[in-house]
Amino acid sequence: MGASAQDSGFAFDWPDNPFAPTLSDALFVDTDEARFDKASRVFVDSMSGIGAELGDIASFPFRDPGTFAVFAVGVGALMLVDEPTTKAYQKTFIPVGERFNLPELADIDNLTIDAQYLALGVAGTYAYGLAANDERAQVAALLATKAVAYSYLTSHLILKTAFGRLRPVSDLDNPSRDRGGIFSSDPYDFFNSTGVHFDTEPYATAMPSFHFSMYFSTARVYSGVYDNYLIPYGIAAALALQSADGHNHWVSDMVAGALIGTGIGNVVLNNYEERRDGINISFTPIASSKGAGLGFQMTF
């Protein structure tokens, strides 16, 4: 008889639903804190733990090899059919995106229209949180800000440089229309990197899609804070559609970016909840005839 997987010492568990984790409502019980007290505490709670989060993102393939393997195999399988699926994407979605163009908010180099609207949404959430003394809104905005920063570091700076994949020509049915050698009709054209690029660089920066990492990490944070999937992912889809004509990507690039963003969002949410369960930090303004300052309090 053949040995079972359990007998051989190998066990595989299918990964949990990556979209399932949400923050407990108990984290957002009204504490009757003054606006400044709450804002300062929420800022410290939300923006701390950066080192631990970066470590969790970097070590994810080793901490959760089952999930990593499923996602990696899935993206690899998509790469095998990238040419026909990307052709279909170019014919189906890009024409819609060309007609769905949001007005530019500001003329800022290397800040695309979709990124401008995402930044406006996050900033608006935080402004509302401060004005209404709403802890949930402040947490959503601050954690989303971290998620975007981690997406930029992971997808844009590290992985794009490592893979060096050429972007597809804008019309795979007529590849001769694209000149200059920047784009390719070969979905397996990897390792052409010219180094780290902090700004937008079209050459050899296809995989993964940073914008999809940004959309999905932000949507994952908002869905986890508000326990609502329809609105965050609906907005992410709208931003992706709006920018469809401006970003040349293979389908596997976009899926990889979405999975990376989802993982980053989960790391940010999980670490925030662990910090809130363990340590509570707050600042209190102190004023007297001798001067003014801040009081620091930490509870375990």
Q: What pLDDT shows up at residue 175?
A: 79
Distance CA 268, CA 54 (A): 9
- For residue 201, give every residue at least 6 positions away whose Cβ sits within 8 Å of its Cβ, in sequence order, or none: 194
Q: What pLDDT shows up at residue 291?
A: 55
Q: DSSP code of 184?
A: B
Q: What pLDDT shows up at residue 104?
A: 86
Distance CA 147, CA 130 (A): 20
pTM listed for this prediction: 0.85
* Phi (first) and psi of residue 298, to 5 degrees: -130, 130
Q: What pLDDT shows up at residue 242?
A: 84
Q: What pLDDT shows up at residue 8?
A: 46
Q: What pLDDT shows up at residue 205?
A: 96
Q: What pLDDT shows up at residue 211?
A: 95
Which ranges of the chain have pLDDT less than 70?
1-15, 177-180, 278-300
CB atoms within 10 A of CB 1: 4
Task: Name the H helices within the chain.
Answer: 35-47, 50-58, 60-63, 65-80, 82-99, 113-132, 135-151, 160-163, 210-226, 230-242, 251-278
Q: What pLDDT shows up at residue 177?
A: 59
Q: What pLDDT shows up at residue 6?
A: 46
**Closest to 186 in 3D by CA, of 202, 162, 203, 168:** 168
> Which amino acid does the sequence have at 297?
Q
Q: What pLDDT shows up at residue 286?
A: 56
Contact 192, 166 (CB under 8 A): yes
Q: What pLDDT shows up at residue 115?
A: 92
Q: What pLDDT shows up at residue 247?
A: 77
Q: What pLDDT shows up at residue 124?
A: 98
Q: What pLDDT shows up at residue 107?
A: 83
Q: What pLDDT shows up at residue 30?
A: 86
Distance CA 105, CA 142 (A): 22
Q: What pLDDT shows up at residue 191?
A: 96
pLDDT in tens, 234-251: 999 999 888 887 778 999
Q: What pLDDT shows up at residue 74?
A: 96
Q: What pLDDT shows up at residue 75?
A: 97
Q: What pLDDT shows up at residue 219?
A: 97
Residue corresponding to tokens 């609105």: 231
Query: Cis link prior to 208 (omega < 30° from 0)?
Result: yes
